Amino acid sequence: MILRIRNFLRPREPKAIVLMYHRVCNLETDPWQLAVSPNNFETQIKELKKNFNILPLRNLVEQFSIGKIEPNSIYITFDDAYRDNYLNAKPILETYKCPATFFIPTHFIGKQQLFWWDELEFIFLHSITLPTNLTLSIDEKIYTFHLGAEQLTEEVRLKQESWIWPAPPPTNRCKIYLELWELLKPLSYSKLFVIMVFVRKWADFTPSHWSENYPMNNKELENLANNELFSLGIHTITHPALACHSAEIQSSEIAGSKDYLIGKGYPQIYAIAYPYGNYNNETLSIVAQNCIPLGFTTQDAVITQKSTPLRLGRFQVTNFRGTVFMEKLMRYYD
């Protein structure tokens, strides 16, 4: 009993939390829960500002160097450099003077095109009609997908809007979209590009010109990088699932992304976020060789002084209002 009381009275180990955002916008479908509405994002930032110390990532580098994590600290990160980060998140962060780090897949900056995963989602979950069959050759293996005559009726649309992975796909379109996503994710960008050109023609799909779905352009990235509140991080060149590729390709993707950012004259790069949270021991070795002090996964985990700096967890933020968001966040601390 005395031992239990002593354990209860012992001061808690200082913890930090890193938050992972992707998009700040409104989406019709969002199976991966990557989007937070601008209104909800602002309520979240208000609550964070009231309850935590929101710090820049360079502070975390310093804390690991001295072996002491600042308690009650929060770090805000964004993956993929969507233009809505610049248009919708940046003004709110500036209003509340909140530092944040943006992880940049450098190949896509300035490209007025959808990321492959978004295009795949638009094709299968938003097209009114699609051909009944799709046959693809992927790494010399033939795959055939049967859509049948499923049209985008109101009933189908509503099912797709409410679908959140890992719940079972509610429609055949969702099922095939998920199967294709899993098949394409391990591929190199060059192979992905060819396949997506084929799928686009098969579906007779014309991408929307809603520019929030595109990555930032060069001017927007420059403005972001030159703001003292913000820092940039590495998210590779073409966003591959790193562990699915050779050490040579991984090195090219990581070092090339770092060289791009430094070559643009942007401030020191403190961190990498592994695309899809996917990495292996070779990845960690390459990151260390490139003198990148912090590496972030997609695993839910608080940060303590015992955490491994190149395998740090982050908590994905979903589309809740600030008060509900805070309730969930406090559970992580507890």
- Mean pLDDT across the stretch 267-289? 95
Q: What length is written for the chain?
A: 334
Kindly report whether the global pTM for this prediction surpasses the value 0.85.
yes
pLDDT tens profile 80-120: 999 999 999 999 999 999 999 999 999 999 998 999 999 99
Confidence of residue 36 (pLDDT cuts 50, 70, 90): very high
Query: How much is the average pLDDT of 134-154?
Result: 93
DSSP state at residue 186: T
Per-residue confidence (pLDDT) for residue 53, from 0 to 100? 94
Q: How many CB atoms lie within 10 A of CB 146?
A: 9
Which letter does DSSP use for residue 204 in this model? T
3-class secondary structure, 100: strand
> Residue 105 has which token pair?
């897949």
Q: Two tokens at 110? A: 């300035």
Averaged pLDDT, 25-41: 97
What are the boundaries of each domain within the chain?
Answer: 12-112+211-333, 116-203
Paired sense of beta strands 230-234 and 35-36, if any: unpaired
Report the C-alpha gap between 163 and 121 in whole angstroms.
Answer: 12
Cα separation of 147 and 122, whole Å? 15
Buried b (16+ CB within 10 A) or exposed e, 297-328: bbeeebbeeebebbbbbbbbbbbbebeebbee
> Confidence band (pLDDT; 50, 70, 90) for 9?
very low
Across all residues in the chain, what is the average pLDDT? Answer: 93
Longest CA–CA span in the chain (Å) reads 72
Residue range 225-235: mean pLDDT, rounded? 96
Kindly tell me if the per-residue pLDDT of 1 is higher than 50.
no
pLDDT(21) > 60: yes
What pLDDT was estimated at residue 330?
A: 85
Cis amide linkage into residue 166, ω under 30° from 0: yes
**What pLDDT is stored for residue 260 in this prediction?**
95
Query: Under a CB-based contact definition with an 8 Å cutoff, are residues 118 and 80 in contact?
Result: no
The answer to whether residue 6 scores a pLDDT higher than 50 is no
CB atoms within 10 A of CB 113: 13
CATH class in words for 12-112+211-333: alpha beta
Mean pLDDT for the stretch of residues 175-182: 98
Would you state the pLDDT for residue 136? 97
